[in-house]
Structure 1
Amino acid sequence: MPRPSLANKHRLLATGAAATWLCSVLLAAALPATPLRAAEAPAAAAAASQQTATGHTFSPPEGFVLKNEGRLSLMTAPEGDATLAIADLAEAKDADSAVAQAWALFKPGFKRSLRLATPRPPRHGWEEQRVYDYETSPNERLVLQAMARRAGSRWVVLMLEGSEATIEKRGSPINQTFSSLRPQGYQRESFVGRKPLPLTPERIAALKAFLAQGMKALDVPGVGFSLIDGNKVVFEGGLGVRAMGSTKPVDADTVFMAASNTKAMTTALLAQAVDAGRLRWDQPAAQAFPGFKLADPGVTQQVLIKHLVCACTGMPRQDLEWLFGEVKAPASSTFDQLSLMKPTSQFGEVFQYSNLMVAAGGYIAASAFAPGQDVGLAYDRLMRDKLFGPLGMKNTTFDFAQALRGNHAEPHGDDLMGRTRPARMDLNYTIVPARPAGAVWTSPRDFSRYVLMELGQGRTPEGQILISEPNWRARYAPQVMVGEDIHYGMGLMIDRQQGVTVVRHGGDMIGFHSDMFWLPDFGIGGTILTNSDSGVLLRGPFLRKLLEIVFEGKPEADERLRLAALNRHAEAKRARELLTLPVPKASMEALNAGYVSKELGPIQVGKKGGKLDFRFQHWHSEVALRKAEDGTQSFMTIDPGIGGIEFVLGAAKPAGGARAAAPLILRDAQHEYEFAPACGRWKQDDSGAWTAAACGR
């Protein structure tokens, strides 16, 4: 999923859509009901399930230090700057009361302003769930949340306080604990031993009706999707329109950006290179491609070919370099960017998703087949000749111009009012230099052909071997834990939450959100492609609805969808309340006409017609003012699809005799970039760093 994980969007609990796939690891045997008091032990060593004071069970996050104090279970990250707390309460009249009691236990005198409280659907034995998200200042770089859960008359509250960097880095083990916390005596839902029901026309109609209902609730203009049963396509087509205001319908051949679903396809090319003897899974990447290096030489030597696509090397999510980069940069720029990046966790320690590592994997596979050739052109040709062509994926391409000339969907995003509006394509082009990680365009018909290959253990639907069975299977081997009963393989998410294997991956770019999934043991699968950012909220419920229908599971999908739509509007309303438009004149005047970051390039600041516009190399957005409770000012992008990128006004710096000018600070969860006030012409030096003359005003 190439979409950036920006610090101001990093809310593990409050964003229900993302949490559906961040969970893993089976609960072991329960400990005695008497809680450990003031006892401490590394949670990784205490891999067995723990119990709260009244017998609710949970698995502590791996690597955290666990300390039980009466009704509180405290789990502290190895970095020491993040704590997950569970408060097991004797009684509470409602969720608000439970949360107030929990904070009084965990942080006496807690007085943070509540940003938003939103409901979550009943799940895992919890009859009521509510998430609380609190105000923080951008410069605190702090995650602060709570979640109240009720089973019968008993309440339990989870509280999370910690640095954005640690919370992002250790998001998977934290979510493992959130997912594993269950009421005393609750038995998990299991599909083991159930024979799936066939996808009859009536059941397909029920899934279509569910998607149509979700599209209306979430204001999604168009959806393309397919369904597979018995290793055969039983439906491929679409609902809605390709673009708002258009009457052109989505059909089986409408292409959408499938974004990070490209990653699985890239690992298929890597597997073919292994089959051909051009690479080995256990071969050092730097040996296979001498141009591969990271800023840490020791980690460089550890990275094997399989590690390029495992999200397990400790390389963090660091997307801003390519999002602000040159869209016409050569594919080799991926290696230039990686050479400046360092891991932020130990090798194999936690799941950390790196788009550039996967891009390197695709280009190294291309180089193995076509040594000495341009790795980008070779990758495009090999994917076409070795994967898309043999599979009959006639409309699948990395060529944006080709995709946009034909039957294609247009992107849409939410405006400041929370309404779906057309979004521009310009930012989506930034993934092109790193395209093995997420630049593919495909249609429901073509996407189905790919899923059929996975269900066929590396064979085309007609039986032609594309990948040998051993190397097809190697991609499914767990490489790192993602959450409870979920692991990441090589560009594939392996989910065993209900006791049956569901393999999937998602994809996210501006205005496009997609998913593919299959059940290898049952010949069942599906795809979904959407042309709106709100479409991300359709993916999890759609998969859940399919599982409910074929395995007669608990009815949860409809409520998930209803609350997703409800919370979308609530979050948009609160976001508007925090922003000021038009931007006050004094705040506009505090900005320089131009800024430059040595890593990310220039910003041109436009101030016309009472509007403030930030223009970057290849995209731009209107911005609004946000004032934090501590007085910090920041400027937030608000255009549909790219809202929420936050530039914090830093401290003014002396500029000789001239008036002091303040920089702008942009952060993702683990990195910080300074845009210094600049005058004159921007340029890049031989190392790729951006420079311009400094200036005051």
Structure 2
Amino acid sequence: MKNLLLSTFIAAAALVGATGSAMAKDQTMHRWTDPMNRFSLVRPDGWQIDMSGPMVALSSPEGDIALWFGLSEAADPAEAVAAAWDTVGEPAAAPQAVVPAPPRDGFEAAIAFVYPPEGDTIRQAVVESVDGRLHMTLIRGRMAALERRGAQVNIAVTGFRPSDAAAIDLSGATPDALAAEDLDALGAYVRDNLARFDLPGAVVAVVQGGEVRLLRGFGVRALGGDDPMTPDTRLMIGSVGKTMTTLVMARLVEDGRLSWDQPVRSILPGFAVADPELSETITVQNLVCACSGVPRRDMEFLFNADSLDAETVIGSLAGFEFFTGFGEAFQYSNQLVATGGWVAAAADGAEWGGLDAGHARVLEDRLFAPLGMSRSTLDFGMVAADDDAAVPHAPNGLGRRSALPLETEAALLAVAPAGAHWSTGADMARYLRALLALGGGDGIIRPDSFAHLTTPQVPVSASMSYGLGWFVEDWRGQRLIHHAGNTFGFTSELAFLPEAGAGIVILTNAGRANDFVQAVRARFLELLFDLPETHHAGAMIARAEADRRAGAWAQAQPVPPETAGAAEGRYRSGVLDEVTLRREGDRLLFDIGEFAGEVRVDPQRPDRWIIWDGPLFTRPLVFDPVAGSLVFGEGAARYVFEVVR
């Protein structure tokens, strides 16, 4: 599933996400230009702007996030940043990391400064340079606030631009047909970069002009094995499946079985969230717009996956509170999207108690079967018995990916409509062809239905918004529609330009491989429009930083034996149920039942531990021997466990 949780490097992540050439057209963003016409920035709706100081300041509606933007003529970025913090009256400690970041369009270079946490307060800075001028962004906020309004921070950071920034404008451009040498170059790029990005294998499909122009497997299905990845190999596609869920919903709307503005309770009478009034008014569309203000709560289905079904997950929504108002900030909730899929099943005749099976049936009947996607499924048992299914791989503390048991991915069945789909390169090429055919009126849904799915509902960055199951981006003046998918051991991407009539599918058997799929997508777009190869240099900067972080994780030491012995036991949370800390030789394991991971001391914060391998890699833990408690996670996703021994 798409992981949009704030990372430690929120500023650097924001830079990577800003490839568009124009601000997304949305009433919740406001462009402001410096009176001297040196730069402009974007103010998210509800944020306050203060131009009285030497730097322009933005503050969140609650006042718990502050952003500052300005210019410096200094030659040294580190000196410029230190002076900037002093200028705004918030002197900062020395940064714990200073790392290059991929430069955005309009800039020549970028550097991110990451500071030690101050309690639950996070500070970061970004310096972007062009023509000898330094454009500085300062970020300070409480972690929970940054999680609540991270998308709005991203909007502001990606909207900060030089007024005279040069940008390639491809508005209205129609690319020529990709030549054989272009397709060979794309294939060579994938093949040559598998090892550099630490991937066992990948499958890539390109569709242009209604035809599949490239469909090829690369690498192997499992590390250490010889079985090749092929166009018919099954891989998990994660949140790319959300696009299928909303497309099926659109088909039911066309058939009159469902309405986007219909209250969810009219279909599922027991539906409820924490707010009784919202429980009555939330509509079918609200479930899949990522604009409702519901925070991400993935741990609550992952920790209990073995005991959950559709009806139980829907019941759990009764405890869901909302961070922000509807349409105010992008918030990604897998449980809400899954409920959208189950609503579709109920609208198609599934009874309460059979919503999981009903959703699988409606997906097969209304999407997979009509398009001939015979190897696409939600049936985990079918995949487990398949001799041509890829093995998932995930990163660990040694800085390289290793195989995960296939059963690990079964945890996602708890929210199947949100991203437990399996498919193949060949099937996804069929899906992409059908999507590109929508403009001609002969697709699987009507053009007006797809226009509704891709109408922006909430901004994600200065150039990208979220529709209903789709990201909609202004890429150099072209409309780019896409969605990525992340599971524990697979990463995927589907992206297409409807006006240009071309698109790409990228499937991999490696978790957290977004850098690779983004690099392949960028190379495809460069070849499509005959642009110079520029993205790869930025991708290598990001990859070098990933290698640096991996080196830091590799230094993590095992929990001392006496501390591990004191911590060993069973712990219970009112939300995540029961977990176990147990020793296996010299290793201390955090075991949630569905899977386990080794615990080590965080090399950057010795007062806490991290999960050092497995699906929960890098998640923090804090053990309090006096209170007999264990804290998992941080910020809004912080859960307290009490010892039960």
Quote how far apart the aligned CAs of 1:52 are.
Answer: 7.6
* Post-superposition offset of 1:48: 3.1
1:21-71 superposed Cα distances (whole Å, 9 cap, x missing partner): 89973599xxxxxxxxxxxxxxx8982322287712222233211112443
Query: Which residue among 607, 610, 615 is the counterpart of 2:591?
Result: 615
Residues in 2 aligned to 1:420 and 1:16: alpha-carbon distance in whole angstroms: 25
- Decide whether the 8 Å contact of 2:19 with 2:475 is kept in 1: no
* Aligned 8 A contact 1:649 1:665 in 2: yes
Q: Does 1:594 align with 2:570?
A: yes
Q: Is the 8 Å Cα contact of residues 566 and 625 (structure 2) preserved in structure 1?
A: no
Aligned match for 1:25, one of 15, 23, 26: 23
Alpha-carbon displacement from aligned partner over 1:526-566 (angstroms, at most 9, x marks no partner): 10011113522112222221221122335322212222321
Residues 20 and 463 in structure 2, CA contact (< 8 A), matched pair in contact too: no
Matches within 5 A, 1:254-653: 254-372=233-351, 374-406=354-386, 407-457=388-438, 463=442, 466-577=444-555, 579=556, 581-626=557-602, 633-650=607-624, 652-653=626-627
Q: 2:115, 2:473 → 1: CA distance?
A: 31
Question: For residues 569 and 378 of structure 1, do their structure 2 counterparts lie closer, same or farther at Cα, with a shift above 3 Å needed?
Answer: same
Deviation at 1:504, TM superposition (A): 0.4
Work out the CA distance in 1 between the residues paired with 2:360 and 2:39.
52
Distance in 1, matches of 2:491 and 2:634, equals 21
Q: Secondary structure at the match of 1:560?
A: helix
Is this contact kept in 2: 1:244–1:421, CA < 8 A? Answer: yes
Bigger Cα displacement from structure 2, 378-387 vs 119-128? 119-128
Deviation at 1:325, TM superposition (A): 1.0
Retained in 1: the 8 A contact 2:596–2:614?
no
Counterpart amino acid of 2:275?
A: D
Amino acid aligned to 1:635: W
- Which residue number in structure 2 is paired with residue 87 of structure 1? 70
**Helix, strand or coil at the partner of 1:263:** helix
How much does 1:20 deviate?
5.1
For the residue of structure 2 that corresponds to 1:533, the secondary structure is coil
**Cα 1:472–1:104, aligned 2, differ >3 Å: closer, same or farther?**
same
Q: CA deviation at 1:10?
A: 4.7
Give the whole-Å Cα distance in 2 for the aligned partners of 1:109 and 1:144. 11
Could you tell me whether the CA contact under 8 Å between 2:215 and 2:426 is conserved in 1?
yes
TM-score, length-normalised on structure 2?
Answer: 0.94
- Are the counterparts in 2 of residues 131 and 147 from structure 1 also a CA contact under 8 Å? yes
Matches of 2:55 and 2:625, distance apart in 1: 40
CA contact (8 A) 1:313 1:352 kept: yes
Residue 358 of structure 1 aligns to a residue whose secondary structure is helix
Residue number in structure 1 paired with 2:146: 167
Tell me by how many angstroms 1:272 deviates.
1.6
For residues 128 and 591 of structure 1, what CA distance do their matches in structure 2 show?
46
1:157 aligns with 2:139: no
Q: Which moved more, 1:207-216 or 1:351-360?
A: 207-216
Q: Give the aligned residue type for 1:676.
A: E
Q: CA deviation at 1:587?
A: 2.3
In 1, the alpha carbon distance for the partners of 2:28 and 2:507 equals 42
Report if the CA contact (8 A) 1:636-1:644 is conserved. Answer: yes
Cα deviation, 1:157-184, whole Å, max 9, x if unaligned, reads: 1111101222122222221222222224
Q: Give the distance between the partners of 2:246 and 2:523, measured in 1 at CA.
A: 29
The 1-side partners of 2:330 and 2:532 are apart by 30
* Partner SS state of residue 401, structure 1: helix
Contact kept, 8 Å, 1:22 with 1:483, in 2: the verdict is no
- What secondary structure does 2:525 align onto? helix
Conserved? CA contact 2:483–2:495, under 8 Å: yes
Match of 2:78 in 1: 96
Matches of 2:150 and 2:88 in 1, distance apart? 21
1:553-610 CA distance string (max 9 Å, x none): 3532221222232111011123344x3x221123223414111111101121112322
* CA distance in structure 1 between the aligned counterparts of 2:195 and 2:136, rounded to whole angstroms: 34
Q: Compute the displacement of 1:371 (Å).
A: 3.9
Other structure's SS at 1:236 match: strand
Structure 1 residues 134 and 54, CA, compared in 2 at 3 Å: closer, same or farther? Answer: farther
Give identity over the alignment, percent.
28
Secondary structure of 2:11 counterpart:
coil
Question: For 2:168 and 2:302, how far apart are their aligned partners in 1?
Answer: 41
Name the CA shift for 1:458/1:156 in 2 (closer, same or farther; >3 Å): closer
1:426 deviates by 4.2
Alpha-carbon distance, 1:219 to partner = 1.5
Q: Secondary structure at the match of 1:267?
A: helix
Q: Does the CA contact (< 8 Å) of 2:489 and 2:510 recur in 1?
A: yes
- Counterpart residue identity of residue 491, structure 2: H
In structure 2, what residue type is equivalent to 1:96?
A
d(CA) in 2 for partners of 1:46, 1:615: 44
Partner residue, 2:106: 125
Distance 1:566 1:191, change over 3 A: same
TM-score by length of 1: 0.87
Kindly tell me: are residues 20 and 122 of structure 1, through their superposed partners in 2, closer, same or farther at Cα, counting changes over 3 Å?
closer
Residue 656 of structure 1: aligned partner: none
Which shifted more, 448-457 or 374-383? 448-457
* Aligned-residue offset at 1:328: 4.6
Instruction: Report how far residue 131 of structure 1 moved.
Output: 0.9
Q: Is the Cα contact below 8 Å between 1:132 and 1:145 reproduced in 2?
A: yes
Shift of 1:523: 1.4
- The RMSD of aligned alpha carbons is 2.4
The count of residues paired between Structure 1 and Structure 2 equals 643
Contact 2:221/2:389 (CA < 8 Å) preserved in 1?
Answer: yes
Q: Does residue 675 in structure 1 map to residue 637 in structure 2? A: no
- Flag the 1:153–1:4 CA change in 2: closer, same or farther, 3 A: closer
Q: Secondary structure at the match of 2:230?
A: coil
> What SS does structure 2 have at the residue aligned with 1:332?
helix
